Amino acid sequence: MKAIVAGAGLAGLVAARTLHRAGWEVIVLEAADGVGGRVRTDVVDGFRLDRGFQVLFTAYPAAQRQLDLKALKLRQFDHGAIVVEDHHWNEIGDPRQDPKALIPTLLSTVPLLSDKLKVLKLARELRRGSFRRSPETSSAEFLRAPDRGPVRLVTEVVKVGRTASVVRVALSQHERLTMTATVTAGRLPSQAPVWSDLPVLAPEPPPDALATSEHDENAAPLSRACDVRLDPAGFRREGAGAVLRGWVRPVGEPVDVLFALLAGDILPPVVVNVGRPGWAPTVQLSALLRARPAPGWLRLVSESRVVAGSWFDEDMTVIDSAGRLVCQARQLALSPLG
Ligand SMILES: Cc1cc2nc3c(=O)[nH]c(=O)nc-3n(C[C@H](O)[C@H](O)[C@H](O)COP(=O)(O)OP(=O)(O)OC[C@H]3O[C@@H](n4cnc5c(N)ncnc54)[C@H](O)[C@@H]3O)c2cc1C
């Protein structure tokens, strides 16, 4: 088979090599007078001058697949740059890594002093990890149940703020909208709470705790990804009321903020305890992420205030192994009439 590749930049050369290795006959067309595209190297008076390309990020999976990094005998440069402006050389470096760079960097006229201060501020904030944002709240309307399979997500940034940023999400499948959501992202507090009032539940499930997969056929696929246990004292017991208690942890992965959010809707519908088993679709759900979860089991308490007609509410409290509230979720859902 024959292929024509237009352009001998990185992308074209990799495509040509891949096709060639797969047994294709390949012709590469290049408009310029040499190969390399934006990664060309010109040899001038014995010096190799690279056009563009200053940094090779060796962690790129594609770079690891396509390049023989050992053969390249890579060397590390000191962090910094020399900017030539009107025959004046400006040396800019990072004095925190190389103290020698302090004086030339302070004296350089490029960049401006205000820019240098901004870089320092940015470095300080990055070190503090204050750019790490988590979805602090998410509020979703479930319009129709999707089938298993690919879905299309369209996101729109509504606001980027210092304290909170807001993103709107629309999820559709087969050209039909199935869910809309608004996610507010911010920085979770690292300080211990000055006040909290949480339900009491053992940090780990007791040996006789029930695995949900055995009691809820809808939970079977989920149970491959998470281990969910129910408190036997309050599951389908007469007089227990619309309250469920349980524990959850992911299978083979550490607990993270997204899992804490998922835990806000992981138990069987609370109405199983008032004689309404079966599928209970969520219509609206709002979840608040309150802290980064500690490793280990998450404790869950789910309760309803009112079950009336087909409608019921469900409030979930998620507490981590360190006893901190990590997620609160409230949903309005439908249940088959008993
Ligand atoms: C100043 C600068 C610094 C950079 N620094 C870095 C860096 O430090 N680290 C990093 O990872 N990336 C860096 N990049 C980006 C990197 O160089 C590019 O992403 C990469 O080289 C793009 O490769 P490419 O094959 O997609 O395109 P190109 O390299 O642009 O190759 C396209 C080729 O197609 C040819 N062509 C176009 N049209 C036709 C035609 N009709 N017929 C025949 N030939 C045609 C062109 O002449 C060119 O040779 C830098 C880029 C620049 C400009």
Higher pLDDT, 338 or 293: 293
* pLDDT tens for each residue of 274-304: 888 888 999 999 999 999 999 999 999 999 9
How far is residue 179's CA from residue 145's CA, in Å, rounded to a whole number? Answer: 9
Q: How far is the CA of 51 from the centre of ligand 1 (A)?
A: 10
- On the question of pLDDT at 132 being above 70, the answer is no
- On the question of pLDDT at 129 being above 70, the answer is no
Q: Residue 142: which pLDDT band, with cuts at 50, 70 and 90?
A: very high
pLDDT, residue 217, reads: 60
Q: What average pLDDT score do residues 105-115 get? A: 83
The tally of CA atoms less than 13 A away on the side-chain side of residue 104 is 16
pLDDT, residue 61, reads: 79
- On the question of pLDDT at 64 being above 70, the answer is yes
pLDDT, residue 55, reads: 79
* pLDDT tens for each residue of 35-47: 999 989 889 999 9
Phi/psi of residue 124, each to 5°? -65, -45
Of 4, 5, 41, 53, the one to substitute when testing ligand 1's pocket (max ligand atoms within 8 A of C-beta) is 53
240: left (phi over 0), alpha (psi -120 to 50) or beta: alpha
Helix (H, G, I), strand (E, B) or coil at 261: helix
- Residue with the smallest CA separation from ligand 1 atom 31 is 9
Q: Residue 116: which pLDDT band, with cuts at 50, 70 and 90?
A: confident
Q: How far is the CA of 32 from the centre of ligand 1 (A)?
A: 12
pLDDT, residue 134, reads: 80
CA-based nearest residue to 231, from 257, 255, 200: 200
The closest-lying atom of ligand 1 relative to the alpha carbon of residue 29 is 43
pLDDT, residue 127, reads: 72
The closest-lying atom of ligand 1 relative to the alpha carbon of residue 36 is 49
Helical segments of the chain, H only: 10-21, 61-66, 102-107, 113-128, 257-263
How far is residue 292's CA from residue 189's CA, in Å, rounded to a whole number? Answer: 8
* pLDDT tens for each residue of 190-247: 888 999 999 999 999 999 999 876 656 665 677 778 999 999 887 877 777 899 999 9
Write out residues with Cβ below 6 Å of ligand 1: 6-12, 29-32, 37-39, 52-55, 57
Q: Residue 80: which pLDDT band, with cuts at 50, 70 and 90?
A: confident
Percent of the chain's residues with pLDDT above 90: 55
* pLDDT tens for each residue of 161-184: 888 899 999 999 999 999 999 999
Q: Report pTM.
A: 0.57
Residues 22 and 45: beta-carbon distance below 8 Å: no
* Across 213-217, 252-256, 315-319, least confident range: 213-217
